[in-house]
Structure 1
Amino acid sequence: MTILYPGCEDYNFLSNAMTRFCHDLRNLKEGLVIDNVKWNFQFYFSFDWKFLAICLGFNSTHSKNFCPWCTIDKSQQGDLSKEWKISKEIDKLVEQNNYYKGHIRKPLFDIIPFNHWVPDELHIILRITNHLWSLMIAELTEYSLFNDTA
């Protein structure tokens, strides 16, 4: 489903513009009965990074706590020994919008769990590149070729 609206990408504007849409999604989440058959739905959300930040009530995507899925902060970004997993829960943000650092507003799509928010391609490629780069550096270091200028 695509949402088109005139205006800027702003939390308050989107919240007002999508009130009816979010209400309809909540109703669909409960299931839809057609000819005595109940249809259940699982929702997924795909986005660009700015729209994601707005919909999750994020402070900003370039803040210290930048990741929508985990609690890693910028100082830990290059530490590949850290486990980057989906550790946030949407229900906790619904109860208290600043439960996790970096979130300052209630998420707009609070019926979609974090493991159904599909990351943009750039986020995936950057993470893969980080792992491949660290493996290459480790291999060069292992064979004493890391600072080899010859």
Structure 2
Amino acid sequence: MSERSGTDDPEPFEPGPAVPLFVPVRPGPAGCATGWTTRFFRTPLGDRTAVGFTSAHRLAATLGDGQHWIRLSEPALRALGTPLGVTVLTVDPQLTAQAPGRALSAAAGAAADGARRAGPYPRSGPTAATRCGR
């Protein structure tokens, strides 16, 4: 039986160094002044998942250039989701879908624009995104 030296490879399930992920965030409950809140998503089966990206480019390609983000390590992101019952972490998701209310066809969007212009109330003014500096 041969002796093992101290330079052997680590166990396959030992955690490696924590590499920070690019994590999508949104303004907190009271707006941008109070900080940011981590965004959680749903898997195709409907389970909640934390999401992180390995680069800002991948985050922007999936969620858009206007998506705010912070850098968090994987253990920190998991720790934020645990109290909410989020146990799944998805890294670099490639497919996303818009919320059902946002997925309008071009014709439906044009009809909605016409209805907005004809309404009795003005639709102008700053939005939450404008107030937050986006």
The TM-score with structure 1 as length reference comes to 0.25
Higher relative contact order (CA 8 A, sep 6+): 2
Q: Name whichever structure is richer in helix by fraction.
A: 1
The TM-score with structure 2 as length reference comes to 0.27
Greater CA radius of gyration, 1 or 2?
2
Q: Name whichever structure is richer in strand by fraction.
A: 2
